[in-house]
Chains A and B, each alone.
Chain A
Amino acid sequence: MNGIHDMGGLHGFGPVIREDDEPVFHSYWESRVFCITQVLDTQQIWNLDEHRHEIERMPTADYLTAGYYGRWLFAMERLLDRKDIVRAGEVQRRVDEMHNAAPALSAADGGPRGWPLPEERRVRWGAWRHEQAVAPRFAMGDRVRVRNIHPEGHTRVTAYARGKVGVVDRVNAEAWVFPDTRAHDRGEHPQAVYGVRIAASELWGPQAEANASVYIDLSEDHLEPA
């Protein structure tokens, strides 16, 4: 989807500000959100691409103001609700009770829910499939064009690279899961991933800096011969 998360090349965000002696986490809740998500990652509830896509679906203004872990919190809540593991209503009720310092917290809803996960709803984690082989379509040195596509769903083709021509610099010939389909439960479609070198002048035209290029990792389905 063409969303604010796809930031490469945008203007207007100002300087990069580095913090001296930055702590690993700035607050307790951030550490909890990050690490609860990692525990959930191992519970076969969602896959990496679904999680990323959920963040992308955050309303633009919220994406820009919630902070990094605020985005993770949003994605966790939405995914847990959509999969009927923890419902939005339950979370809101508890938040309200905690805000109002209620003497006792009401229990989660009774009755069946999406947890424990039935076998058929368990998802596999992992970025590539060691047990599978792929036959790469492109070789090092091949000229390739990044497909000019604008899917409404999840994709890892950055907007700034679409339609641009580059050269294959590296072939990662493992069976990498295709994020664009896995994010939507439409299969893994394992394929090679290529490191494609695109010259700055190809990407940015007259505003490009001299003597620079960007190397982008792209799935085979995102490339065509040039």
Chain B
Amino acid sequence: MTQHVPPEKPWQAVRTEAIESLLVELGVIDSARVDEIVKHYEERVGPKGGARVVARAWTDPAFKQRLLADGLAACAELGLGGPETEKLHVVENTATVHNAVVCTLCSCYPWPILGVPPAWYKSSAYRSRMVREPRRLLAEMGLPLDPAVEIRVWDSVSEIRYLVLPERPAGTESLTEDELAELVSRDAMIGVAKVAA
């Protein structure tokens, strides 16, 4: 796949350094606190958290029921939660319904469950097209869907966040919960991919 690295603009790096140094001098922030948050996003949260939730839902029907009823409370059972997500709806993919998530206005995303969104999720192309031509876009992204499959696009422009519960692939009956979690990709939990066995 083509490498897509946003153009580095040194002036932005300099401006950021200038502002951070002023904020520290003025006693508004502590750089050590900023370091901790960077570490949090680089090391502690990410799609692996969401994958654990999905694997649990696949193997524990009572958990799945709780997850669909109150996503955040169920995620908290696995130790997941945190800022910027005050309510989470989990939407389930089936053989006849496919769900996908977008935020056309900015980049709303369940940070505590999936980490920082990938660049493509925040791109103009994804934000503009996903609501207007989801079937065509999904096919372009490698997920052709049968015309009989209903597509539901969730434009999460309010403060409710969404997580897609992908279909469990066939042939995974003998796998453990941890092994199942390894299969679940971030893209499947946004709804632009399926989970492959």
Contacts from A to B (Cβ < 8 Å): 5-11, 13-20, 22, 24-29, 31-36, 38-41, 43, 52, 55, 64, 66-70, 73, 76-77, 80, 85-86, 90-91, 94-95, 98-99, 105, 107-108, 113, 115-116, 126-128, 156, 158, 160, 170, 172, 174, 176, 193, 195, 197, 203-204, 207, 209-219
Task: Tell yes or no: B129 within 8 A of A by CB.
Answer: yes
Residue of B4, B6, B118 with most chain A CB atoms under a 10 A cut-off: B6
Q: When the two chains form their complex, are residues B131 and A214 in contact, meaning their CB atoms are under 8 A apart? A: yes
**Pairs A-B, 8 closest by C-beta atoms:** A8-B104, A217-B158, A127-B159, A29-B13, A35-B37, A94-B18, A13-B125, A10-B128
Interface residues of B (CB under 8 A from A): 1-9, 11-23, 25-30, 33-34, 37-38, 41-42, 46, 83, 86-87, 89, 104-107, 115-116, 118-120, 122-129, 131-137, 140-141, 147-160, 187
Given contacts A19-B3, A105-B21, A212-B150, contact A24 B12 (CB under 8 A): no
Please give, as numbers and ranges, the residues of chain A lying within 8 Å of B116 by CB-CB distance.
24-25, 34
Q: Is the CB of B153 within 8 A of A212?
A: yes
Chain B residues whose CB sits within 8 angstroms of the CB of A20 once the complex forms: 1, 3
Docked-complex contact A156 and B157, CB < 8 angstroms: yes
Q: What distance in Å separates the Cβ of A146 from its nearest Cβ neighbour in chain B? A: 12
Question: Mostly helix, strand, loop or mixed at chain A's interface?
Answer: mixed
Which residues on the A side are within 8 Å of B46 (C-beta)? 24
**A156 touching B8, Cβ below 8 Å:** no
Point out the residues of chain A lying under 8 angstroms from B3, CB to CB. 19-20
Smallest beta-carbon distance A122→chain B, Å: 13
Instruction: Tell me, in angstroms, the Cα distance from A160 to B156 when the chains sit together.
Output: 14
B29–A40 touching, CB < 8 Å: yes
Q: A17-B123, A32-B34, A73-B12 given as contacts; is B41 within 8 A of A214 (CB)?
A: no
| 14 other A-B residue contacts (CB within 8 Å) besides A19-B4, A38-B83 | A9-B128, A9-B132, A19-B1, A24-B46, A25-B116, A67-B9, A69-B12, A105-B21, A115-B28, A158-B104, A174-B87, A212-B151, A217-B155, A219-B158
Complex interface: chain A residues within 8 A of B151 (CB) = 209, 211-213
Distance in angstroms from A115 CB to nearest chain B CB is 6
CB distance from B73 to the nearest CB of A (A): 14
> Would A98 and B128 be within 8 Å (CB), given that A193-B158, A217-B155 are in contact?
no
Q: A9–B131 Cα gap in the complex (Å)? A: 6
